[in-house]
Each structure stands twice: as C-alpha cells, then as structure tokens.
Amino acid sequence: MPHFFGSLLVALLGFASIFTAASQACPGLFLKAKVRPSAERGILAGKGHAKIAVTLTSKDPVENLEFQLNLPHGLSVERTAMRPSSKPFTSPEIVKNADGTTVIYWINIAFTKRKGGRRRFRFKVKADDCAPATLEVNAFAYAVNTTGASCTTPLANSANINVRHSKSTKSATCAPTPAPTINPAQPFVLFGKGQRFSQGGRLAPFQDRRLSLPSGSKMPDLLAAPSHPQDRHLQSITTPDACYEYCSLNSGEETPFFFSWNTVTSQCFCCVGVCAPFIFDPESYIYEVIVAKTLAPTMEPTAAPTMAPTMQPTAAPTMAPTMQPTAAPTLAPTKQPTAAPTMTPTTQPTIAPTIAPTSLPTSVDFPDNLVTSFVEGDFAYFG
C-alpha cells in the first residue's frame, strides 16, 4: 500500500512538472488592434492616413519574443513606434515582399516581470491612389528559436481599413491589374529577403535523398525500398537553383510554393504544408516557385509510339495491291486477240480453189466418131 501511494505521488509530480514546463514554454499571449478613423468613415485614397494601434499582452515572463504587422498591397508605412520602448532602443525591421505586401518586425522583445507585461505598437499608414476599397491588416506574436517559432498568436479580430476613391481620379489613373505572366526561363523568383519559415520547413536533402515520388506510391513503401543510383544524382545542394530542383521534385506541393535558402550555412528548406507566417532572419531568403521542375519523360513515350505504327500500317498495304492488279491485266488481253484472226482466214480460201478446177475437165464429152484402138505388144494402133 505505501508503495502504491508513493507511485501515485511520483506520477502527480510528473504531471505537475509537465504543465509547468508547458506554461513556461508557451506563455499566455493576447493581441488586439484598433484603427482610426473607423471603418465606416474610411480614408481617401492617395491623401488620407490611418493610425493603427496593436496591444500585446503577456501573462507570463518570456524572452526572445517577436512581433510582426502585415500590411496588404495598397498600404505604405510612414511612421512606427513602440511603448514602452526597449533599452537600448532598436528600430523595427521592414521587409517589402514581391507581392506588394509589407511586413514590419519588432524582435528581441522580453517581459521580465513575474506577471508578464504589455507593449503597444503604433503605425501611421497611407493608402495608395489605386488601393482596393477594403484593406485587411494582420499581426502575429510568437517565441523564436533556432529552428522556427512557437506559441504563434494572431490578432483576436483582424483590423480593416476602408478606402474611398474619387470617381474621376480613379478612372483616369487606375488601370485594371494585369494577370501575372509566367516566364519558363525564370521558374522561381525572390519573394522576400531576410525571412524564413516559422513552421513547415523541411531541411533538404531528405532522409532517402530521392528526387521524385512515383505516382501511386506511398512514403513508407519508398523508405523501405532499396535506392538506386539514378535516384541520387543530386548528391549535394549548394545553390538556390539546386534547392529549387530538389524541392520541386520532392516536396509534393502544387505551384506556387516556397522554399527558403540560408545564405550563410547554404541550407535548403522546402515548404511542406503551411509555412506562414514568415519570421525575420537576415541570413535567409524566401523564394517563390512559379514553374516546378519536372523529370524528363523516358519510359512512357517510348512504349506507345513503337507498338501502334508497327502492327497496323504493315498489313494493310501489303495484301491489297498484290492480289488485285495482277489478275485483271493478264486474263483480258491473252484470250481475246488470239481467237479472232486464226479462224476466219484459214477456212475460206482453202475450199474454193480446190473443188472448182478438178470437176470441170472430168465432165467433157467425147465425139461419136472416135476410132477405137488396139494394143499389141509395145505398140498402139488407132483407126
């Protein structure tokens, strides 16, 4: 019985330590935002300004905290501030991405008090002349480590800014946004400098270093199957181009998708699943893949064209011309011209001259006074 209570006490202490570690690893964070002027009033495109205030609250002490504000395409930042400010004072990092969005990072935020603390971030933004009618602003707070981010906390409610346009000005200056063009010669582009994935990034090459997954196959089956030399022609990844090729053939993501490249360690990270929000890292770049790399087809196209043309076209032309043209010209000219000239000239000229001259001299009559003769010995006497 004492042994049972001792085991129970140890188990309870273990659960208590787990809960304590979890609370220390992921502090209670809360974000809320306020926008002025209100959404009903809005701001005038090209001239109006909006002020955004975001409050970050932590219920626990925490270090290595990071905060970011995402501004959509159509908004530009003019002024930033954080209260209370950090000591020593540090300016935020501002990154402009290829899609027109702007990300503002405050890094190395710490709450040292036992009950946590509060930070307020202020932004003054301006709407572009051709900004959309509604702009959504998002913010995140998270704890940063060497591999990614944890305890990612978004805004409780997203902040929206409404934009008013002058009809005459917008129709004269704003053209419809053209559709993005795809250039096969540039299959991937730099999306944002100084950023990496907060989650979902997988370090390449993967365990089996395979460059492609055959259709219909499963990952456990591929891991158990023996590898072949042709599956490992990309032995090392030393450039963004090699990283692009490897992630295209192995991540299994549909375009567009992302990969990250560390410029100092030359490490390649393929985005598998959800990798946002991106976090600040001056040593890393994020690239967006527009056209994925594919393996050249070798097996399928060879089998299909070889079988079809060999069987069908050979049989048809060989039988038809051999039987028909030979029989027709041989029979017709041989029988007809030979019979006609042979019968007619042979029968008529032979019978006519033979009968007429033979019958005429035989029917001549002798005179009545013809003297009879006698034959005696070798002489003949007529009288």
DSSP 264: T
CA 197 to centroid of chain Cα atoms:
22
CATH code of the domain in which 127 resides = 2.60.40.1510
Q: Are residues 153 and 85 in the same domain?
A: yes
Structural domain contains residue 272: yes
Structural domain contains residue 336: no
Domain extent, residue 93, equals 25-165
Q: Are residues 81 and 126 in the same domain?
A: yes
Q: Are residues 229 and 155 in the same domain?
A: no
Collapsed DSSP state (helix, strand, coil) of residue 346: helix
C-alpha atoms less than 13 angstroms from C-alpha of 236 in its C-beta half-sphere: 3
Structural domain contains residue 232: yes
Q: Are residues 145 and 41 in the same domain?
A: yes
CATH code of the domain in which 220 resides = 3.50.4
Structural domain contains residue 346: no
Sign of the four-CA dihedral 274, 280, 285, 290: positive
pLDDT of residue 312: 53
pLDDT of residue 206: 79
Q: What span, in angstroms and rounded, lies between the C-alpha atoms of 330 and 92?
A: 101
pTM: 0.65
Given a cut of 50, whether residue 146 has pLDDT beyond it is yes
Q: Report pLDDT digits (tens) over 48-72.
A: 999 999 999 999 999 899 999 999 9
Structural domain contains residue 323: no
Contacts of 141 (CB under 8 A, 6+ apart): 29, 31, 56, 65, 66, 67, 68, 152, 153
C-alpha radius of gyration, the chain, whole number = 53
Structural domain contains residue 233: yes
Model confidence at 169, pLDDT cuts 50, 70, 90, reads: low
Q: What span, in angstroms and rounded, lies between the C-alpha atoms of 236 and 250?
A: 14
Q: Are residues 30 and 127 in the same domain?
A: yes
Least confident residue range of 24-28, 118-122, 368-372: 368-372
**From residue 258, how far is each of 99, 182, 207, 245 by CA, in Å?**
13, 16, 20, 12
Model confidence at 19, pLDDT cuts 50, 70, 90, reads: very low
Q: What span, in angstroms and rounded, lies between the C-alpha atoms of 60 and 112?
A: 8
Query: Average pLDDT, stretch 79-97?
Result: 90
Query: Average pLDDT, stretch 259-273?
Result: 95
**From residue 230, how far is each of 85, 204, 210, 233 by CA, in Å?**
57, 18, 9, 6
Query: Average pLDDT, stretch 120-132?
Result: 94
Least confident residue range of 139-143, 315-319, 350-354: 350-354
Q: Are residues 151 and 209 in the same domain?
A: no
CB atoms within 10 A of CB 355: 8
Q: What span, in angstroms and rounded, lies between the C-alpha atoms of 211 and 345?
A: 95
pLDDT of residue 342: 44
Q: What span, in angstroms and rounded, lies between the C-alpha atoms of 309 and 316?
A: 12
How many structural domains is the chain composed of?
2
Structural domain contains residue 72: yes
Given a cut of 80, whether residue 365 has pLDDT beyond it is no
Q: Report pLDDT digits (tens) over 192-236.
A: 999 999 999 999 997 644 444 444 444 444 444 444 444 444 558
Structural domain contains residue 135: yes
pLDDT of residue 299: 55
Given a cut of 60, whether residue 138 has pLDDT beyond it is yes
Query: What does DSSP say about strands 159-164 and 43-44: parallel, antiparallel, or unpaired?
Result: parallel
**From residue 290, how far is each of 135, 187, 258 by CA, in Å?**
26, 5, 9
Contacts of 99 (CB under 8 A, 6+ apart): 73, 191
